[in-house]
Structure 1
Amino acid sequence: MPKRILIVDDEPNIVLSLEFLMKKNGYDVETATDGDQAIAAVEQQKPDLMLLDVMMPRKDGYQVCQVLREREDFNDVRIVMLTAKGRDVEREKGLSLGADDYITKPFSTQDVVDKVSELLGQP
């Protein structure tokens, strides 16, 4: 059974490219464009991994990460934060809230695929 990935970003071009790439690599993909949609999508059908943008409307990625990590039933969802904010302080904030990794935009699509495979324990 393919692993499920939730892509959460408010930039349509990023969502489209990541969605295409993840599907091409055999993953089931869901998308959301803001933090509230992301939480609703996780509650509806829990993904194995979430690619989560930091800067979004309604709830930002940090808030989404914190909400999910506060709920024991979602602790096994892997979270990779995606952001244009590359400073160490932002990275540390994301990791301290429970993110599994942090990728800075602009990113190499192959780096994202490699990180997803690594976190899901796939070759």
Structure 2
Amino acid sequence: MRRILVLDDSTDILFILQLLLEEEGYEVKCIEDALNLMPLVIDFKPELIIMDIQLGRYDGRALCEHLKVIEQTRDIPIVMMSAKTNILEMNGYTCKAQEFITKPFDIDYMVKTVSYHLGK
């Protein structure tokens, strides 16, 4: 079973994505706080990460940059989400996410995006 990690500070988004992706046959782990992101990524070994850009006290773009320079995580595809558009490169970040999805997201598009990045 393909593993997906979802990071968002909205419990509603986490709930929707977990239901949606588990229905598609994926193993999904959801977290609200980026504080324990790295240990979870190392332990769970996700094959895809879906992450909000605005995570309360954390900036998803900075987390994405961090994941892309670490040997164990650099090859994991990352799909970034935000209610705001065109913010992947704001504030000096050069986030190397594979995809950007605007919230509210289209469910069919999300499923196709996940499937594409997992080669399913």
| Structure 2 length-normalised TM | 0.90
Q: Percent identity?
A: 35
Deviation at 1:92, TM superposition (A): 4.2
**2:88 is the counterpart of 1:91:** yes
| Partner SS state of residue 97, structure 2 | coil
Deviation at 1:73, TM superposition (A): 1.4
Structure 2: stretches of 5+ with no match in the other structure: none
Match of 1:107 in 2: 105
Deviation at 1:59, TM superposition (A): 2.2
Question: Superposition RMSD on alpha carbons, in Å?
Answer: 1.5
| Partner SS state of residue 74, structure 1 | coil
Following TM superposition, where does structure 1 have runs of at least 4 consecutive aligned residues deviating by more than 6 angstroms?
none
Aligned amino acid, residue 109 of structure 2? D
Rounded Cα–Cα distance in structure 2 between residues aligned with 1:59 and 1:110: 28
Deviation at 1:96, TM superposition (A): 3.3
Structure 1: stretches of 5+ with no match in the other structure: none
Match of 2:52 in 1: 53
> Paired residue for 2:118, among 113, 116, 120?
120
| Structure 1 length-normalised TM | 0.88
Q: Aligned ranges for residues 17-28 of structure 1 at < 5 Å? A: 17-28=16-27
Structure 1 pair 20/6, CA: closer, same or farther in 2 (3 Å)?
same
Rounded Cα–Cα distance in structure 1 between residues aligned with 2:31 and 2:102: 19
Structure 1 pair 58/40, CA: closer, same or farther in 2 (3 Å)?
farther
Contact 1:34 1:58 in 2 (8 A): no
Match of 2:35 in 1: 36
Deviation at 1:76, TM superposition (A): 1.6
